[in-house]
């Protein structure tokens, strides 16, 4: 069910991202849907993306080594453990993982905290495209 994304998956990966932006009132729309598909295509071309697929693509994670750039689950697939499966897949390949999430994204913060991530720092958002305050989180495999 988890597999590397293929070039033809860019449309669905971009649509999952666009849907999140459309449904999230505090998230500014900076790019068109076409630009988001092109962005997904670039991530896929770099071999950073894995998708979760049953009857269709329901979620994706974009990861460059230990750095998670994105983890999104389609709205209808949320609450079924798919994000956990993608995250555990990434954990199985790394001793540490790091990511940034927005301070307003309480659901993501709860998800990552539940999975052992700890806060490393916060910013006022000046360093990201959206200009939204964010949080740097890190997970490390326990040595024991």
Per-residue pLDDT of the chain (144 residues; tens, 9 = 90+): 999 999 999 999 999 999 999 999 999 999 999 999 999 999 999 999 999 999 899 999 999 999 999 999 999 999 999 999 999 999 999 999 999 999 999 999 999 999 999 999 999 999 999 999 999 999 999 876
10-23 vs 33-45: helix axis angle to the nearest 10?
130
Sign of CA dihedral 123, 124, 130, 135: positive
**2-140 falls under which CATH superfamily?**
Gcn5-related N-acetyltransferase (GNAT) (3.40.630.30)
- Domain ranges in the chain are 2-140
**Alpha-carbon 1 to chain mean position:** 17
Residues in contact with 83: Cβ distance below 8 Å, sequence separation at least 6, in sequence order: 59, 71, 73, 111
């Amino acid at each position: 069910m988890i597999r590397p994304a293929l070039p033809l998956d860019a449309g669905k990966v971009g649509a999952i991202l666009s849907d999140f932006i459309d449904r999230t009132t505090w998230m500014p729309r900076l790019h068109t849907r076409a630009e988001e598909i092109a962005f997904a295509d670039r991530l896929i071309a770099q071999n950073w993306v894995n998708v979760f697929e049953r009857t269709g693509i329901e979620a994706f994670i974009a990861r460059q080594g230990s750095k998670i750039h994105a983890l999104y689950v389609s709205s209808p697939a949320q609450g079924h453990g798919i994000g956990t499966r993608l995250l555990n897949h990434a954990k199985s390949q790394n001793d540490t993982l790091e990511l940034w999430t927005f301070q307003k994204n309480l659901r993501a913060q709860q998800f990552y905290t539940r999975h052992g991530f700890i806060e490393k720092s916060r910013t006022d958002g000046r360093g990201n495209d959206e200009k939204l305050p964010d949080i740097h989180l890190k997970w490390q495999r326990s040595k024991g």
